[in-house]
Amino acid sequence: MRLRRLVLVYIWITVGSLAIALALDIFLVPNRIAAGGVSGLAIILFHLAGIPVGWVLLALNVPLFLLSYRELGLRTFVRSLYGAVVTSFFVELLEARLPVMTHDVLLAAIYGGIVAGIGMGVVLKAGGTTGGTDLVARLLHKYLPVTVGQGLLAADFVVISLAGYFFDPELALYALLSLFITSKTIDLVQEGISFAKAAYIISERHNEIAEAVFQQLGRGVTALEARGMYTGESRPLLICVIGKTEESRLKELIYEIDRKAFVFITDAHEVLGEGFKDFRKQEL
C-alpha cells in the first residue's frame, strides 16, 4: 500500500512537471512572459543569450535545493529535486516538438498562468516544491530580517523588473498578470473549489438554533465560549459547516428563531470528515 502511494506521488509530480513545461514551451517562453521565479529568469536569459531554458532551470534550481536541504527535509527534498530534473527534461524535450499555441500576449499570459498553476499545484499537493523564488525567499528569511512573504515578493519583483528593462514594460505588466493567475490556480488546485460554507452564529437562543440545525439540516454544530469585548458578556459561538445549497435554508431557520442573531458565513475549503469528503480521498 505504501509502495503504491509512493508510486502515485511520483506519477503526480511527473504530471505536474509536464504541465509546467507545457506552459513554458507553448505560452510563456515564445511570448517573453517572465512571470517571476527561476523560470522567469530562465526566459530572460534564453532571449538575451540563447541559453536553453531547461538547462537554466536545472542549473539554478539544483543549488537552491541543496542549500535548502535542511529546511525541506529529506522526503520533500527528494521529491522536489526529482520534479526539478523532470521539468527541465520536459522543457528541452518538448520545445522543438510542440507548436506555439498563440502569439497573442494576453492569451499567453492567461493560459500560461493557468497551465503553470495547475502543474505547480499538483507538485505541491504531491509533497514536493517547485523551487525557484520560494526557496530564495526561505533562504533570505533565514539569513536576513525579512519574512518569507517579503522575500518571495522581492525575488519575483526583481525578475519582473528585469523583464520590463530588457524586454518591454508592457510585457512586465503581462508577467504580473500571469503570476497572479498562477498563484490563484495553485490555490484552487490545492484547496479545491469551495462547495461548503462555514456559519458562525451568536444568539441568545443558541440552544434552539442548534436543535433546528440538527433536526432540519442534519448538520452538526459546535459551540465555543466567546466574550464580547464591548459588553463583556460571555455567550456561546455556534459553528456549523453546511453545503452551499443549504445556506439559504440555514438563514431562514435562524431568522425564524431569533431575528436579532449575529451571523457571518464564509467559504470553507477542504472540509473533511462525516457528511463531507473522506480523508482517504485526499491521498494522491
The residue from 191, 226, 251 where one domain ends is 191
Bridge partners of 239?
200, 222
- Rounded Cα distance, 31 and 100, in Å: 9
pLDDT tens per residue across span 45-85: 999 999 999 999 999 888 888 877 777 778 878 888 888 89
Which ranges in 68-104 belong to alpha helices (H)?
A: 69-72, 74-95
Residue type, 206: H
Residues 39 and 147 in one domain: yes
- Rounded Cα distance, 22 and 19, in Å: 5
Domain tally, the chain: 2
b (16+ CB within 10 A) / e for 147-158: eeeebbeebbee
- Rounded Cα distance, 127 and 138, in Å: 17
Q: For residue 272, give its domain range.
A: 196-282
| Confidence (pTM) | 0.75
pLDDT tens per residue across span 76-124: 788 888 888 999 999 999 988 889 999 999 999 999 999 999 998 898 8
For residue 216, pLDDT over 60 is answered with: yes
- Rounded Cα distance, 65 and 83, in Å: 11
- Rounded Cα distance, 24 and 101, in Å: 11
Residues 204 and 173 in one domain: no
Residues 76 and 137 in one domain: yes
Q: Could you tell me the end-to-end alpha-carbon distance of the chain, in angstroms, rounded to an integer? A: 12
Cβ pair 226, 215 in contact under 8 A: no
The residue from 151, 171, 191 where one domain ends is 191
